[in-house]
Amino acid sequence: MELFELTAHELKDLLDGKKASAVEIAQSVLARIESVEEKVGSYITVCKDEALKRAKEIQDKIDKGESVSLLGGIPMALKDNMCTEGIKTTCASKMLNNFVPPYNATVTRKLFDADTVLVGKLNMDEFAMGGSTENSYFKKTCNPWNLQRVPGGSSGGSAACVAAGEAVFSLGSDTGGSIRQPASFCGVVGLKPTYGSVSRYGLVAFASSLDQIGPLTKDVTDCALVMNAICGHDPMDSTSINESYPDFTKALINDVKGMKIGIPKEYIYGEGLNSEVKKAVLDAVEVLKKLGAQCEEFSLPITEYAIPAYYIISSAEASSNLARYDGVKYGYRAEKFTDLLDLYKQSRSEGFGTEVKRRIMLGTYALSSGYYDAYYKKALQVRTLIKNGFDEAFSKYDLVLGPTAPSTAYKIGEKVDDPLEMYLGDIFTVSVNIAGLPGLVIPCGFDGNKLPIGLQLIGKPLDESTLIRVGYTFEQNTEYHKLRAKI
């Protein structure tokens, strides 16, 4: 196997055994980018010179016998909504086309502290609004398993680059499924951590009560390693949970005997679930049963209200958060305008894409006088009911299991003109954000077109360890995670 095909923990073994250097690993990944990036389109910015310089610095540390972390020398990439000092951070928008942050996001700094090598910044749906990475100002990203298909979104670049070997791991952000759905479409592992467990400082906000940063990796072991590096309390983030976090690698145990797993009937028997996805999920349940887990179906009736509640809450928060882009302080500024009000209007009209404008208008409407109680307040009440529904489920089960998306990756252009159909694709993922829960997606099969299918595991707040344990056990007893996209 080529170096770029290996996992972070496999590369760490090579580094420790002096069988490869950090520079060679970085060169392998950069050569892979040069070879396939034109087809995949997962990067907005590639930091070739900086990556090689950084890899050499880390190799020098290793050669001197200095200690480096378990992720030391590993090439990684960041979704382009996480601030990187001195490197463009665009959110895939014309509005931030020329924005170079003067500081690093907390997750960026933590990964640098862990001696990782930043290879570049990744394509996404503009301001993380979308489910296909077709809403980027710069380019469309393609699915490495089939270049005519979408990689999912909004973290499509983050999933595609890992699936294509263009980074060993990446970070994405998840507001309503934006890590988990691309992970499912691209056949990689994706974790949306508990809200507040990973700092959002330096993440360009979409919906502040829902956004969460998390890893996309080639297997569950790498996922645990990255979580160890990025989670933890941050005084710079007012929503950060001040908690002592476990070593997630201690959850890498091949054993699920006696675990109680609940499967919502609404997830399996609801309308719109592709039959091949359903079969793959139920086959995965049988694997876990054979390994000693107790799996049973239960009802989560509040599921049908999750999509409308999510789109009202997220659009309202987006309307508020994106008000700062006014053409005055930073970002895109219209050249022709008559007065200050016209400057705002022209800058925002020209700077934002169609989907972003749609959601700003939806959110502004939901927050406006006379509609606030009918929409926004009602959505917050539904949010409480959704959280209560999960609390009740977790009084009986250790975790909840279901599909990630109703289908596998669809064709590029297939749904771009039908936003409602695109929104309905979030049916299995948005509840997790609404309730602030952790959700892990692992590959569990393929459809007739040889496209990956992802299994979603949903856990109790701050119980990522159980998800990692179950995901790891499933992985150790199946082969899906070993398969790589051939491009």
Active site residues: 79, 154, 178
Distances (CA, A) of 265 to 260, 302, 400: 16, 12, 11
Q: How far apart are CA 222 and CA 440, in angstroms?
A: 13
Where are the extended beta strands (E) located within 320-362? none
435 CB contacts (<8 Å, ≥6 apart)? 383, 386, 387, 390
Contact 447, 453 (CB under 8 A): yes
Residue with tokens 């862990």: 114
Q: How far apart are CA 392 and CA 290, in angstroms?
A: 26
Region of 303 please: left (phi>0), alpha (psi -120 to 50) or beta. alpha
- Give the Cβ contact number of residue 382 at 10 Å: 18
Q: How far apart are CA 239 and CA 241, in angstroms?
A: 6
Q: At what angle do helices 275-290 and 464-476 cross, to 10 degrees?
A: 90
Q: What is the largest CA-CA distance in the chain?
A: 70
Which two tokens mark 171? 């970070």
Closest residue by Cα to residue 408 from 129, 154, 183: 183
Where are the extended beta strands (E) located within 18-82? 43-46, 75-79
Closest residue by Cα to residue 375 from 303, 300, 314: 314
Residue with tokens 């209560």: 388
Torsion angles phi and psi, residue 190, rounded to 5: -135, 135
* Cross-strand pairs, 214: 172
Which two tokens mark 319? 């309307």
Q: How far apart are CA 487 and CA 485, in angstroms?
A: 6
Contact 422, 355 (CB under 8 A): no
Residues constituting the chain: 487
Torsion angles phi and psi, residue 213, rounded to 5: -85, 145
Q: How far apart are CA 356 and CA 319, in angstroms?
A: 9
Contact 309, 386 (CB under 8 A): yes
The DSSP code sequence of 205-219 is PS-TTT--EEEEESS
